[in-house]
Structure 1
Amino acid sequence: MLSFFREHILLGMAGLRLLSGTIEVVAAILMLYFGSLQKAVQINAALALVGPTVLILVTSLGLLGLADRLEFWRMVVVMGGVGLILWGVRG
């Protein structure tokens, strides 16, 4: 049962990353389609929401899958690290 659960989490993590990559590729195509620097900057700004959201979701899924194997404080350290990454790259 646990293996089944972990497999679904792994598929969810990979699926989120594929979705994120697809959004990035579509955004690049839209930038080329519109051919405007102003539109490209607007599209890029919208992408700024996608990256951190996917990072948090994928990390959370991974920690959920490892919850039975990791001590609580280690999960807190990982989530704190994600928080520091987000804080460090804020605009």
Structure 2
Amino acid sequence: MFIAFEKAVLIMGLLRLLSGSIEIFAAILMLRLNDIEKALVVNSSLALVGPIILISTTAVGLFGMTEKLSLFKVSCILIGVTIIFIGIKSE
């Protein structure tokens, strides 16, 4: 039985699998290193991966939906994402 996935959904799923694999690898690395300082460095590195995967997955999803959404709705989503980034930016 062959299951056909929509391209955007497949990419989003693969990005999430990649993210999860990186998280599992980091957990194993922390256990192997068995040092609190090194574990904190590994954990801090994960702080970069999470947002990058989130933004990439969201972007792929939005590009996949652009043909189904009006220009106004896409603009509202982009404005909303921009406001979220402005809100979380620490000064």
Give the TM-score normalised by the residue count of structure 2. Answer: 0.80
- Supply the RMSD in Å over aligned alpha carbons: 2.4
Aligned position for 2:28? 29
Aligned residue pair count: 87
* Closer, same or farther: CA 18–40 of 1 in aligned 2, 3 Å: same
Q: Distance in 1 between matches of 2:9 and 2:18?
A: 14
| Structure 2 residue runs without a partner (length 5+) | none
Structure 1 residue 51 displacement after superposition: 0.4
Give 1 or 2 for the bigger CA radius of gyration. 2
Q: Distance in 2 between matches of 1:8 and 1:44?
A: 32
Q: Which has the higher helix share?
A: 1
Percent sequence identity over matched residues? 41
Within 5 Å, which residues of 2 pair with 1:31-70? 31-70=30-69
